[in-house]
Each structure stands twice: as C-alpha cells, then as structure tokens.
Structure 1
Amino acid sequence: MTEPADMTQRLLHSAWRFPLVAASLVVLATVAVLAVIGLVPAAQGLASIFALSVSLYRAGTMIKGLLHGRWGIDLLAVVAICSTVAVGEYLASLIVVLMLTGGEALEQFAQGRATKELRALLDRSPRNAHRERSGLPVEDILVDAVVPGDVLLVRPSELVPVDGTLLSDVGIFDESALTGESLPAERTKGQLLLSGSINGADAVRMKATATAAHSQYSQIVALVQEAAASRAPTVRLADKYAVPFTLVALVLAGAAWFFSQDPGRFAEVLVVATPCPLLIAAPVAFLAGTSRAAHAGIIIKNAGTLEQLSRVKTAVFDKTGTLTQGNPSLAGIRVASASDLSEDALLQLAASAEQYSTHVLAASVISEARARGLALVPATSASEHATNGVTADCGNHHIVVGKPAYVGSLVSGFDMTTLPGGHLGIYIGVDGRFAGTLIMSDPLRPNAKDTLTELRRLGVVETMLLTGDAATTAQHIAVEAGISNVMAECLPADKVTAVAALPLRPVMMVGDGVNDAPVLAAADVGIAMGAKGATAASESADVVIMVDDLSKAAVAVGIGQRTLRIARTSIWTGILLSLGLMVLASLGMIPAVAGALLQELVDLATILNALRALGPGRSAASVGSTAVHAVSTVPAHHRVQSGGRGPGWE
C-alpha cells in the first residue's frame, strides 16, 4: 500500500473512532471558509447550532454520570459553550467543543501510551504448540488443547506455550517479558520452563505440567487486565475535585460579569475553566505506574494498591523463600543414640515420606537423597498434616517427619536437637521411636539487607519477621537482615493476628507459601514472591513479583510513591494553571479564543506530566547487586504448593 493511501486509511479510522472530533474539525474548517469569504452570519449560525447540539449531548451524558455517582467538569464545559454562543464568540465555542470532544481522543492516546507494556503482554500470548506423540509426526495444535503430560517441541525463537519441564539437556530462554530480567536464562534438563518465555537458537523438547489457562503467562495477563480495569482512590478523588472547582469557576465568572458589566467576561472565564486533567491525568498516571511495574516483573493487581504502596509504614516478611533463598541444603544428619539406622538409611526413609509432602523443604530432602544415590521407597499410605508434618508407611516402616512438637507427640524417646545458628531441623520418627534429625541450612538472600535499607530510605519505619520456624533460627536470620522485631513459631492464624495488631499502617506483608496466603490477604498490601511461591499465595496477594528477587518489594514501594506524586502533581498543576488563567480572564486580559487555545496547552502539559510515571525515576531496581534473577529450579510439583508446617519448618 502506498504511503498516501496508508495515511488516508489512518485518517478514516481515526474519524470512525472519534466521530465528534471529526465533525468538530469539519465544522471548524467550514466556518473558517465562510468567514473568509464574507458569509459571517452563516458561519456564526453554523457554529452556534453545532456547538449547542454538542452541549445538549454532553448535558445528557453529564446527567447520566451524576445518576451513577460520578462527578465531572461537563457542567463547566456546557455552560462555557452556551455562554460563548450567547455573546457571539462562535469561534471560541467551537474551540471549546473541540477541546471537549478531543479530550476523549487525548485520554485514549495517553492511556494507550501508558499501557504499552500491558498491551504487549496481551499481543504476544502463546497461541499454538507443536505436540509430539509416539509413532506420529509432530502436530500443530492450539495452545488451549495442551494437557499436562503432553510432550511439546519448541522451535527456535518460539514462545514456550505452557508451563512445563525441559526434556532436552539444555536450553537458553528470554524471560524478560515475565521477570524484567534482560539477560538470557539457561535451563537444564528437568528444570521449570515458564509459558511466555522465548526459546533461543536451538529447538528443545519439553513436557507440559499445566494447561494454558493455568500457566504463568495466562495468570499474568489476567492480573494485568484486572489492574487496568481498576480505579485508584486518587483517581476517584480527582472526580471530587471537580465539585469545588466548578463552584469557584462559576463564582469567579459571575463576579467578573457583575463588576465589569460585560457578559463576555463570564464566557471568557469559563472558557479557561474546563481542564481535562481533572478527568484524565490521574488515571493516566496510575496506568503508567502499573505498566512500569509490569515491565520490572511486578504485577500490581489494582490501581488502589499503588496508593497503599506509596504510604507503607511497616514491612513484614516471611522467612523461608522470602528473606532466605528458599533452597535449603542438607548441612548434617544426627542419628538418635537409640536408633540403629545409618545416616543414609535415615535420609532415605525421610525422603521416601517427603515424596507425599508439598512443603518446600521436601524437595530439598528428596534432592539430597537422590544425590547420594538412595532409592525412594514407595508408600502404601501417606498423609500430610498442615503446619505439622507428614506420616507415611514406606516398606515395612511407619515414618513421621515434621516439626519437633508434632513428631515428639507421636514417638517415644524424643530428643530436641541443639541446632547451630541459622539452621533448622527436620525431625524423624520411625516405627514409633525417635530416629534422628536432618539439619538444614537456608542462608539469607544476598540482597536482603540492602532491600531492608532501601525500604527504610523510602519511609518504611518498622520491619518485622513472622515465621513458623524455631526462635533461634528466626532470630539468627533477623539479625543478619537487620530486623529487630521477630515473632517465631507462628501458625498461619498467629500471623494474621500479629499483622492485625501492628499499629503503624499501612502494613506490607511479603511471603511465598500456602501458609502465607491468609496473612497476605489480611495485610494492607500483600506481596507474593510468585516466581516460585504457591498459587494460593499469589491469588491472595495484591502484588505478585514474577522474578525471584526480594529487592522488587522495594522497587514496588518506590513505583507507588512516584506514581502517586506524579498523579497529584498533574491534578494540582491543571487546577492551579486553570485558576491563574481564570483570574487573568476575569480582568479582561485573555480573549475567549485565546483562552480556549491556552487551556488546550494546559491539558497537554498535565497529560505529558502524568506520562512521566512510565519512566524509572529513582528506582530501587539496583538494590543488591547479587540479586537472584533466575526463576527457581524447584520442580514444578513442589513449586505449586509449599504449605508451611509451623515451628522447625517455616
């Protein structure tokens, strides 16, 4: 298609989308031609009829808005149009009409710019997959037809269609759309692949572990759509500014008319008193902030959360998988003196029982056993007891694994193990007797301390560690991170009670496990480490961090503060500039036509200011130069749920 033809098509498309704007431009051009050729009465008549028709239409939409509890500034625009027509300022009336109808087009343009990152997510959603079946050629299917267990081929530069595990030996993937991390991620056989990531230069094979609807990318898209549809308190507050602003404008216009005895003065004041920023700037700023967060791998579910984030005074953290790396390693095995089991035998039995647990530590125990070449014994029966542990009948043994109080209540000869600082214990009973302890080490994240420092710089006054782990382990991690307030050995209900009792609000809670879901929902702002956290935690949270990077919690607070600051600045800039112009107009210093043009510049300035929320500003993104950016390698069946077991397990 030639360039002129392409331009014509775009103009026709714009005219179809915004018919009132197109009609206003046509009428304005026609009126200008009539005035130039000397047909001034015809020009004035056409302009007046069109302007009054638009004002009548806007009056109808204004009444509908009032019936739904939405205050706006349409009243000022309608009165301004009518008054300019009444005093013969027909060109000014057309400019006001153009400003009013063009406000919708300007808002859609600004919102489109603000939601660029969000729309990019929707535009690149996986749509197709290549399924392999034994003895059959590779078939192309819709991504919605993929079921867990399907073996899929992902060709070079293609999107990973669903969540799954890598069957090939190695693969390189671009996960920037999911995590905000620009560097390619290397995955090896058995590791998790996230839908929406882009394969590298080599074709790879994978096994699906979820349907498209339940995969990571679809969940991100759903969260983004929810966020884009929400309205922040500041956005609603901007609507309320319209009421006093309208009254001030009408009083000032009336006073100007009264003292000057010139009805044209009334029209001149109202022409500069129709600021679109009150309706557009705040929503655009919040959409821009949400988009900025999405680009950084932070999904903020609703615009109101941005305002809450900006005012956070207390930050509360879970321990395992949040402050710590969440990949515990075996530091030692202590066999009970009364047990005749070897260290390997004790680890083998514990790992056999842990096959039936959803806790994050279970994956570590199983991994250690397999690393030693120990075969796992299948269970004839198994049961997990939430917040406590798991019991299983494996081979000829009845095994109990869990926290000390739970195991101690079910076996004889229990002996509480003295643990080194920062370590946690997994207690094991075999055939009714205490058999020993697995000592696990889960070190502090490298960037945890820097993240806490950044939060304090952002105005977070109080920090707290809430964990179901033993007090000695919790205290050790808290001291390393720089947290003074610690509450250990908590059940999920205890965490909710503790957060509710905190005096400095709003409270932000950061966690990742199933046992964190209640407290994430109870906090003023719940932040889930969604890269490897539980689905339940992500659903309960207000913010989901899609990359395994604790520093993103500080980045989210920084984005919230900057977005709110820009939104309020945009609102007040529009108000103050309009008030200044109204004062000048009341003194007869701004003609109606010039005032209408100046008001357009005010609108443009405030909208451009609102779009600054798209930029990084002073970001906390650099917190912790050694931040872990790669998505966790915990196998998918252990990643989906990670239910806490209380003391000794959190």
Structure 2
Amino acid sequence: MRFFRTWSRYPEIAVTVAVGAAVLVLHAVGEQAAGQGVATAYVALFIAWTLVGMVRDVLRGHVGLDILAVVAMVATLAVDEYVASLIIVLMLSGGEALEDFAARRARRDLTALLDRSPRTAHVLPDPGAPGDGTVRDTEVEHVEVGDVLLVRPGEIVPVDGTLLGEGATFDESSLTGESLPVHRGVGEEVLSGAVNGTRAVRMRAVRRSADSQYQQIVALVEEAEESRAPVVRLADRFAVPFTAVSLVLAGTAWALSGEPVRFAEVLVLATPCPLLIAAPVAFLGGLSRAAGSGVIVKGGGVIEQLARLRSAAFDKTGTLTLGRPDLVDVRPAGGFTTAELLALAASAEQYSSHVFAESIRRAATERGLDLLPADEAGEVATNGVTATVGGHAVVVGKPAYVASLAPGLTPADLGPGEAAAYVAVDGRFAGSIVLADDARPESPAVVAWLRANGVENITMLTGDARPTAESIARQVGITDVHAELLPPRKVRLAAELRPRPLMMVGDGVNDAPVLAASDIGVAMGARGATAAGDAADVVLLVDSLAKLVDAVSIGRHTLRVALTAIWIGIGLSVGLMLVAMTGAIPAVTGALVQEFVDLATILYALRALAGPPADLDTLTPTPHPHPPPSNRRDTPTIP
C-alpha cells in the first residue's frame, strides 16, 4: 500500500518508469523503431511541459536553470540517444522526490515541534460549582484564563499557568533546549509545551492558548517553514556562468571531433540539481538545527544575513542585563513617606509592561504593601505610565517626562549599574525609586566572541540614562554607547550604522520598531515578548544571550555547507564534462553518472544538520582595567 502511495504522489516518476519499461520490452521483441518512437514522443511532451515552466520563471524574473536539461534532451533525441534522454527525464522528475526526502530529513526538529503541540486540556470544575465534579476534556483553544487544569503524568502542559498544590518536576527541553528536568514550586509559572513528570498536578491558566509560550513558538516555526530560503538568489548567481561554461564545453567537443553525438555526451553531465535541490536542503537543515538549539530563525534569507554579519547593536535592559532589577533605595520627596511613595508607584506600574514596573510591583508586594486599582491608566512608550490611583494622579517614568509634568524634579545620585524611576503625584515631584540590574554573566563573553569573529562594530542603543548605560557597557566590553534614546532615534541610528548587515538585539515591546528596521532583528523571547518576537527575524527561546552565538555560528555553517554543496556539484560536473569531451563517457553512462553527482551534493547538504558548536568557554573576555566599584545601598526598611 505504501508503495502505491509513493508512486501516486510522484506521477511523473511512475509514467517515466512505465515508458522506459515499455521501450525495453519493444527492444526485446525486436521493435526498436517503435520503442524509439514512444521514447521520442514522451520526451518531446516533457520538454514542452518544462519549457512552459521555464517561461513562467523568466516572467517572474528568475533564470531558468532547466535550460541545460532541455538542451541535453533535445540533443540526445537529435543523435538517437533516446535512452539517455529518458534517463534525463527521470533525473528531473525524480528531483522532486529526492528533494522531499532530503527536506523531511532536514526539517525534522521543526516538524517535531509542530507535531507535539498540545491539542487538548483537562478542565477541573471550580469548587462549589454545580455539576458532578468530573474532569471535562476540551480543545486547548477553548481554555479560558482562570480555568483550573489537570495535567497527568507525562502529559504536555496545554497553556501557561501557575502551579496549585505541591511542587512538581517538568521537562522543558522543547522550550529551552535544557535537557535536565526543572522543579517548579507552588505559585510558580509553568509554560505550555513543558512535559509533566511522574505525578499529576493542578494548575490555573494565566493565558489563553494563542498567547501561551509554546503556541507562540509553533507560530514562529510555521512562519519559518513557509518562508523560502534564498536559493533563487544563489541559483541566479551561478546559473548563467554554469550554463555558459557547459554549452561552450559541449560545443567545443562537437567542433573538435566533428561528431554531433559528442555535444550530447558532454551536456548530459551538466546538472542543475546542486543549485535547485542541495542549496535549499542545506538551508532547511540550518533552520532545523537552530530550532533544536532553542533559536527560531524566520527563513533562509535570515540565515544568509547571519552568516555575513558585520555590525551588532544591543538594547541594555533585559538583553545585556538580566532584566530582573532589584530595589536598591526609595527616596521620597515633598512630604511623602517611603511606604506611600512605593505603594503609589507600584499601583500605577500595574498597568505597565516595562521590566522596571515588574520589579517595583514585586518590591511593594514583598513588603506587604497593598496595591490599589486605578480609575484610569495609560502608558507612554519608553517614557512612563500615568494612572489615577486612590484619587491621586500618579506618574512614574523617566526624569525628562516626569519633569515636564511636575517641575522641581531632583535627579537621583546613582551608582554604577543603577537606574531610577521618578514619581510625581498630583503634579508635584514625589521622589525616586532606585533599582539595579546586573549584567548577564555571559554578556562579556558574547560581545568578545562577536568581536573576535569578524563583527567590526558593536554598540549599545538604549533609552536608559547615560551613567547607567555606560556602567553596563564597561562591564560587558562595549565602548560605543548611545543612551536616553526614543524609538524613532533608535531606528535612525540603526539605519546609519555601518558596515552592514546589522543585527539588533532587544527584548521588549519598545524594541519592536528598531528590530523590524534592522537587517537582522533578534528578540529575547524566553519571557514571551510577543511584539518584539513578531517584529524580529530571530527569536531566542532560552533566556540566555549565549544563544546569539549559536545563531550566528549556525548561520555561517549553513551558508558554508550550501555553497560547498554547489561547488562540489559544479566541480564534479565540469570535470566529468572535460572527460566526456574525449568520447570516453557514452551518453547513457553519463546520464547515469550524473545521478550519483546529484546524490553526493544532496548528502553533503545534509551536513547543515550538524557541525561544530560555538564554545564560549574557550573565549575568556578581557576584564576592564578599572572595574566599577559596587556601592549598592542596603534595601530600606519600609513600615
């Protein structure tokens, strides 16, 4: 049954094999003329069909690489080498099957992500709700925020949720690439796509399916699968010179020997398969390998850009730093107490998505302060948040923005690595909240690796205050710093940076414009920065900047494999054509030999699935000669 399904999927192969078998039977019974007629008629129809496709390609602006095959088929028919012409037809019609096989092998990690996407959820009834208390199975798309779910042992977590009851162990390798199981305690968030351990657990859904982590990864993978690798550009780059060389060699052989058959014998060894099949297989392999490493690359064009990377720009907060600032000090002004200032600021920050907002809320909650709801609230991107809390107009944000609404602002005295959120209440300056966000431990090594591997220009583009930005830049080894930037200015600076291509790395909603405007936008997507992930070309699923090195290494390895596969095919073809010019390779033998050349290039292209991993441990960044002293203040005691 499987045999018949395979043949029905590729009817051109089935028909070609059937015609070839009929020709052999006619030869066996002494009807050579009839066999030649059948083969000639079938090949002529195939040539006409191929020419129609070539014309469509030309109208779309692409060079038709099948011109060599068409000329070879015409030539073999003209010199009565119709068996060789049938083999060429089989080569071209079998190319699709060979490409499908190689592509399935190359995209295995991408397909694995899609195949294990959670589809159902077990919903538990709320305590006290009417009903018989039985578990209700539903499609994952119908799970609502607040639903209590049962996840049985070995099952995939259907949506993002917080753990209820006792802690449990989960396998998060499909999300992070980390092979070791992780333990999650009560109240901790568990991401969709994680695999439950050995005991059943209950969790409360905190996001719907479309907004959950794994479903966002699946959407990114589908986008990467649907995108086409830049093989058209690669093919166009090689097609014209290769076609010209092949025709010149074939014509020279004919002219020197005086035998038209020599033209056909040379041309049957010219193949477009290394360009048409091997290159796309290599790019699919690179996309798949990246996905297996916790990096989603949205298409082969991005792979090629990563391979040619020459400049890199980084946001600061959450990218070069951990993105989890700790409260250092609360400095009230205008008669407010530390508790009042922190409570009002945290209440307003409930309506902000900025990383500082989360830290301020967490600090207030840890100190037992009640957060009040806002009558109305709004956020001004990169500047701050405004809210009406308990009858007070509260503004939390950057100094320039707060000063424009509340004159009398006093800039905070900040130490290295510290940043301040300024607060105004009812139009007067109320104080500042000082936080500190440490640099990621891997950031210096990543910056040093990029610089040592041909990235000439490395810069920081951030909206944070200059002293804070420069302090972090010194720690990670960046000397070119642009601070206190608004999104339009970030985009303009990114457009001006040279040399190209430029990679911009960020993590937040405010980074989306500059990510979209860069040659390569990279989003730190481990914590679900949806807007940045949508705008980016590369999404790092693991909360580690080290994955950036993996992305660049995979891009370079993939392009190297694709180009090498092309040159292997071209080199073997040209070498065999030179031998065929002497008449040493008959047309039928040459057509068969060419199939092995195609197979060799495709097998080599699959090397994109493997390769030497980037090793940050072998690169020790040079420490700054004068490391900034730590002068963090003790966290204040707030009543």
Give 1:380's aligned residue: 375
Q: What SS class does the counterpart of residue 209 from structure 2 fall into?
A: coil
Give 2:162's aligned residue: 165
Shift of 1:397: 4.4
Give 1:75's aligned residue: 67
**Residue type of the partner of 2:120?**
N
Shift of 1:87: 2.3
**Residue type of the partner of 2:77?**
V
Shift of 1:229: 2.6
**In structure 1, distance between residues paired with 2:153 and 2:551:** 34
TM-score normalised over the length of structure 2: 0.91
Bigger mean CA offset, 538-547 vs 431-440 = 431-440
Give 1:310's aligned residue: 307
Give 1:107's aligned residue: 99
Given that 2:164 and 2:201 are in contact with CA atoms closer than 8 Å, whether structure 1 keeps it comes out as yes
Shift of 1:527: 0.4
**In structure 2, distance between residues paired with 1:359 and 1:59:** 57
**In structure 1, distance between residues paired with 2:192 and 2:15:** 46
**In structure 1, distance between residues paired with 2:3 and 2:474:** 64
Residue of 325, 334, 349 corresponding to 2:331: 334
**Residue type of the partner of 2:571?**
L
The structure-2 alpha-carbon separation of the partners of 1:349 and 1:580, relative to structure 1 and needing over 3 Å to count, comes to: same
**In structure 1, distance between residues paired with 2:236 and 2:181:** 45
**In structure 2, distance between residues paired with 1:409 and 1:33:** 92
Q: Deviations over 1:151-189 (max 9, x none)?
A: 222211112222333334423222222222222233333
Q: What SS class does the counterpart of residue 355 from structure 1 fall into?
A: helix
Bigger mean CA offset, 14-23 vs 521-530 = 14-23
Given that 1:71 and 1:240 are in contact with CA atoms closer than 8 Å, whether structure 2 keeps it comes out as no
- Give the RMSD, CA atoms, in angstroms: 2.3
Give 2:557's aligned residue: 562
Instruction: Note the 1:324-363 alignment, pairs <5 A.
Output: 324-336=321-333, 339=335, 341=337, 343-363=338-358
Give 2:2's aligned residue: 10
Give 1:292's aligned residue: 289
Q: Deviations over 1:414-445 (max 9, x none)?
A: 32221111111122234544333222111000
Is it true that 1:619 corresponds to 2:611 in the alignment? no
Q: What SS class does the counterpart of residue 390 from structure 1 fall into?
A: strand
**In structure 2, distance between residues paired with 1:131 and 1:413:** 55
Give 1:188's aligned residue: 185
Given that 2:557 and 2:611 are in contact with CA atoms closer than 8 Å, whether structure 1 keeps it comes out as no
**In structure 2, distance between residues paired with 1:145 and 1:316:** 41
Give 1:507's aligned residue: 502
Instruction: Note the 1:26-175 alignment, pairs <5 A.
Output: 26-32=18-24, 35=27, 40-41=32-33, 43-134=35-126, 135=129, 136=131, 137-175=134-172
Give 2:595's aligned residue: 600
**In structure 1, distance between residues paired with 2:378 and 2:258:** 88
**Residue type of the partner of 1:123?**
D
Residue ranges of structure 1 left out of the alignment (5+ in a row)? 1-8, 626-650
Give 1:199's aligned residue: 196
Q: Deviations over 1:345-373 (max 9, x none)?
A: 33223222222222211111111111122
Give 2:539's aligned residue: 544
**In structure 1, distance between residues paired with 2:493 and 2:55:** 47
Q: What SS class does the counterpart of residue 213 from structure 1 fall into?
A: helix
Instruction: Note the 1:384-399 alignment, pairs <5 A.
Output: 384-395=379-390, 397-399=392-394
**In structure 1, distance between residues paired with 2:194 and 2:613:** 28
**In structure 1, distance between residues paired with 2:376 and 2:140:** 36
Residue of 477, 484, 494 corresponding to 1:482: 477
Shift of 1:483: 0.2
Q: Deviations over 1:499-537 (max 9, x none)?
A: 112121111100011111111111111101111253211
Shift of 1:30: 4.7
Give 1:591's aligned residue: 586
**In structure 1, distance between residues paired with 2:466 and 2:65:** 58
Bigger mean CA offset, 397-406 vs 572-581 = 397-406
Residue of 605, 623, 635 corresponding to 1:610: 605
Q: Deviations over 1:331-351 (max 9, x none)?
A: 222334x5351x333322322
What is the aligned length? 615
Is it true that 1:301 corresponds to 2:293 in the alignment? no
Q: What SS class does the counterpart of residue 281 from structure 1 fall into?
A: helix
Give 2:522's aligned residue: 527
Shift of 1:494: 1.5
**Residue type of the partner of 2:307?**
S
**In structure 2, distance between residues paired with 1:113 and 1:162:** 30
Give 1:630's aligned residue: none
**In structure 1, distance between residues paired with 2:78 and 2:411:** 90
Q: What SS class does the counterpart of residue 273 from structure 1 fall into?
A: coil
**In structure 2, distance between residues paired with 1:116 and 1:572:** 26
**In structure 1, distance between residues paired with 2:315 and 2:554:** 22
**In structure 1, distance between residues paired with 2:262 and 2:239:** 22
Q: What SS class does the counterpart of residue 62 from structure 1 fall into?
A: helix
**Residue type of the partner of 1:98?**
L
Q: Deviations over 1:252-296 (max 9, x none)?
A: 222211221112111101110123112111111111111111111
Shift of 1:39: 5.5
Given that 2:421 and 2:433 are in contact with CA atoms closer than 8 Å, whether structure 1 keeps it comes out as yes
The structure-2 alpha-carbon separation of the partners of 1:155 and 1:622, relative to structure 1 and needing over 3 Å to count, comes to: farther
Given that 1:512 and 1:529 are in contact with CA atoms closer than 8 Å, whether structure 2 keeps it comes out as yes
**In structure 2, distance between residues paired with 1:444 and 1:179:** 21
Residue of 425, 443, 465 corresponding to 1:470: 465
The structure-2 alpha-carbon separation of the partners of 1:89 and 1:398, relative to structure 1 and needing over 3 Å to count, comes to: closer
**Residue type of the partner of 2:55?**
I
Q: What SS class does the counterpart of residue 335 from structure 2 fall into?
A: coil
Given that 1:465 and 1:487 are in contact with CA atoms closer than 8 Å, whether structure 2 keeps it comes out as yes
**Residue type of the partner of 2:173?**
S
Residue ranges of structure 2 left out of the alignment (5+ in a row)? 621-639
Shift of 1:43: 4.6
**Residue type of the partner of 2:342?**
L
Q: What SS class does the counterpart of residue 135 from structure 2 fall into?
A: strand
**Residue type of the partner of 1:521?**
A
The structure-2 alpha-carbon separation of the partners of 1:86 and 1:175, relative to structure 1 and needing over 3 Å to count, comes to: same
**Residue type of the partner of 2:372?**
V
**In structure 1, distance between residues paired with 2:406 and 2:47:** 82
Q: What SS class does the counterpart of residue 211 from structure 2 fall into?
A: coil
Q: What SS class does the counterpart of residue 71 from structure 2 fall into?
A: helix
Bigger mean CA offset, 162-171 vs 255-264 = 162-171
Given that 1:163 and 1:215 are in contact with CA atoms closer than 8 Å, whether structure 2 keeps it comes out as yes
Q: What SS class does the counterpart of residue 612 from structure 1 fall into?
A: helix
Given that 1:447 and 1:623 are in contact with CA atoms closer than 8 Å, whether structure 2 keeps it comes out as no
Shift of 1:398: 4.1
Shift of 1:302: 2.2
**Residue type of the partner of 2:550?**
V
Given that 2:153 and 2:199 are in contact with CA atoms closer than 8 Å, whether structure 1 keeps it comes out as yes
Given that 1:165 and 1:208 are in contact with CA atoms closer than 8 Å, whether structure 2 keeps it comes out as yes
Given that 1:448 and 1:624 are in contact with CA atoms closer than 8 Å, whether structure 2 keeps it comes out as no
The structure-2 alpha-carbon separation of the partners of 1:189 and 1:294, relative to structure 1 and needing over 3 Å to count, comes to: same
Shift of 1:615: 0.9
The structure-2 alpha-carbon separation of the partners of 1:225 and 1:340, relative to structure 1 and needing over 3 Å to count, comes to: closer
**In structure 2, distance between residues paired with 1:87 and 1:290:** 45
**In structure 1, distance between residues paired with 2:619 and 2:247:** 54
Instruction: Note the 1:395-434 alignment, pairs <5 A.
Output: 395=390, 397-411=392-406, 413-434=408-429
**Residue type of the partner of 1:250?**
L
**In structure 2, distance between residues paired with 1:421 and 1:22:** 72
The structure-2 alpha-carbon separation of the partners of 1:60 and 1:189, relative to structure 1 and needing over 3 Å to count, comes to: same
**Residue type of the partner of 1:606?**
T
Give 1:242's aligned residue: 239
Q: What SS class does the counterpart of residue 15 from structure 1 fall into?
A: helix
**Residue type of the partner of 2:141?**
D
Shift of 1:392: 3.2
Give 1:639's aligned residue: none
Percent same amino acid at aligned positions? Answer: 56
Bigger mean CA offset, 225-234 vs 134-143 = 225-234
Shift of 1:240: 4.6
**Residue type of the partner of 1:152?**
L
Is it true that 1:215 corresponds to 2:212 in the alignment? yes
Bigger mean CA offset, 523-532 vs 412-421 = 412-421
Q: Deviations over 1:432-461 (max 9, x none)?
A: 443332221110001001111221232111
Given that 1:131 and 1:150 are in contact with CA atoms closer than 8 Å, whether structure 2 keeps it comes out as yes
**Residue type of the partner of 2:442?**
N
